[in-house]
Chains A and B, each alone.
Chain A
Amino acid sequence: MRPIEELVQADQGLVRRAIFSDEDIFKQEIKQIFGRAWLFVGHESLVPNPDDYFVSQMGTDSVILTRNRQGQIQVLLNSCSHRGMKLCRYDHGNNRTFTCPYHGWSFSTDGQLVERPGELVGVPGFAKNYMGELDKKSWGLKSVAQIHNYKGTIWATWDPNAPPFEEYVGDMRLYLDSALDHRDGREGGSEVIGGVQKWRVKSNWKMPAENFIGDLYHDISHRSVDVVGIGPSGGRGRRDAMQGRVAIAFKDLGHGLLGNLPHYEEPDYSPMYTAYPEVERYYREVHEKRIQNLGNNMRVKHRVGTIFPNMSFHGWQPRTITVFHPVSATEMEMWRMYLVDSDAPEEVKESARHYFLRYSGPGGMTESDDMENWTGATAASQGDIAQDLYFNYQMGIGHTKPVPELRGAVVSHEFTEENARAYYRRWAQFMQGSSWETMTPTY
């Protein structure tokens, strides 16, 4: 493996193609990035009731997102501590204990029974075969080091030394709010529509992370859908009209987005979903409520962005969360969930759902062309000559301005590769094994 500083020269806008195709680099990523960073694991609405669980993924490890009888959400490694068998083989369900199908060891999350979630509670033949000589307390399921519920989104890290989640996301948090908060400005108030799309793509997992961080330059790939017009108001294009966007990068954290700068006044209402008059009325009403609810508070508007390393989200049209799970250097599994205001009328939820599904996912008329780009770029970068070349990220170097309201943020015009440079600079820091002290900015 070549030295990291040779693979990524972010300041020069150079990234060597090997980081999208080399298996040794991939193994290092799993350790250095997925073993340390805060990762998106799911949404609390996937486990609404006590004992509900949802099987998720952190890097290449399967994990169980579960809510115990006390209502607390836990994240546990989905692998029996005895001989490694995958404990939960359903995608979701409701269990009081997790019993391994191989030898029957069972684990509990019930805080009344056990001291820590995932503790080993049942061992067949404990008295007779083990003669009672097994230290059950030390053979529970591995649990993540830290977990954080942010407005319903569940995040976890294996690293006990990782900074708190809110420090890790920094002021990118405001943009996450813009997706998770109710359209009327109230905190939280969103839910995931039932069902998670999961699909395999022969692309390196960083391709979409970079695409979603604020690459508007690639819009040309979506010309076919713009011509046809799939927006919620009909006509050409694929969204409703919106104010100009800018690209904002959190240069010390590796997150970035397309959206608007912080502002204190709500912009005038611009009609949405006009193909559905009842729905349009809803958006007009929540706009009025938003003006009242937010008053003169600072707010932002988010279109699309990425939280380092592998979670991206749309905040407006559509409104989704997507995760790129690494499978190998040249394959990933994409997951997507769709968000709506939880108390919106059925018609509003339905029109959103129909619109989101024709936009995103493998059947999405917009997204189907994205996968074409990522798989094509991954494949064509694997040739012996090709893999030694650099990708070019030189658009707009040196043309940024600080954003006074957002710590460590810089803003560029809509079209820039500044956000990608920030992302790969962060990637290099993780890959070099830099300490959290040197990686965490103090403002």
Chain B
Amino acid sequence: MTNAKIETSQPEVAYMDAGIELWWNVQNFLFAEADLLDRRCFNEWLEILHPDITYRMPLARNIRRDQIKQSEYTQPGETAWFDEGFQTLSQRVAQINTGIHWAEEPASRVSHLVSNVRVQVPANTVGSPEEVKVHSRFLIYQNRLQTETVLFVGKRADVLRRHEGRWKVLERTIYLDQNVLLAKALTTFF
């Protein structure tokens, strides 16, 4: 009792779970996105990214349990597997489209499985929100050439924002469940 802390400050915006309709819509958005990627419609995929997108996949490290929260994953400003914006993502698509990006030529067969989708909206939302937080799990299977097979599994934390009347991905942080990356290259989108 003597150790009880008195909360003196609140987070800037509290979030609450979205209602079933919004949850349904956002989930469909993610499934449609996965489908675009698996069908290699990369140009169309770019269209659902917000022009100010931050797309980051930090590195996971083995560290003491009491430091996991602060430093299991590298922080913004540190090394990552990816840390980029719209321009680089477009360049990646352009690189695949050259037909001479040998890490994706011949093309990989990829299936993105997305699950455990949770959608949150600011607690003070009245009507439909402009921005939502989305947490999901992914399991991505990649097969290339004859037998080269890779599984990527992890979590995603997204922020979607309405832009010109549609949801767009404004922030995506990809937490891969891997310390030493067991794939030789990262040529798929997450």
Contact = CB atoms under 8 A, between A and B. Distances in A.
A368 B183 CA distance: 11
A202 B74 CA distance: 26
Nearest to A88: B62
B13 to A, nearest CB: 27
B39 interface: no
Contact of A363 (B63, B82, B179, B182): B82
B181 A200 contact: yes
B163 to A, nearest CB: 23
Contact of A365 (B74, B95, B179): B95
Interface string A333-359: 100011000000000001001100110
Contact of B91 (A89, A338, A365): A365
Chain A contact surface mostly: mixed
B162 interface: no
B180 A333 contact: yes
Interface in B137-159: none
Contacts of A368: 101, 103, 185-187
A315 interface: no
Contacts of A122: none
B43 interface: no
B130 interface: no
B77 A350 contact: yes
Interface string A162-200: 000000000000000000000000000000011111111
Interface string B29-63: 00000000000000000000000000001110111
A358 B88 CA distance: 8
A363 B185 contact: yes
Contact of A357 (B82, B95, B101, B185): B82
Contacts of B84: 354, 357-358
Interface string B67-95: 10000001101111111100010011011
B91 A230 contact: yes
Contact of B63 (A93, A230, A333): A93
A230 B88 contact: yes
Contact of A372 (B75, B103, B179, B186): B103
B10 interface: no
Nearest to B78: A194
A375 B67 CA distance: 36
Interface string A217-228: 000010111011
Interface of B: 57-59, 61-64, 67, 74-75, 77-84, 88, 91-92, 94-95, 98, 100-103, 179-187
Closest 6 CB pairs of A and B: A195-B79, A194-B78, A199-B181, A368-B185, A195-B74, A224-B101
Given A91-B63, A224-B95, A368-B101, 6 more contacts: A91-B62, A200-B180, A357-B81, A368-B103, A369-B102, A372-B185
Interface of A: 89-93, 193-203, 221, 223-225, 227-230, 333, 337-338, 350, 353-354, 357-358, 361-363, 365, 367-369, 371-373, 375
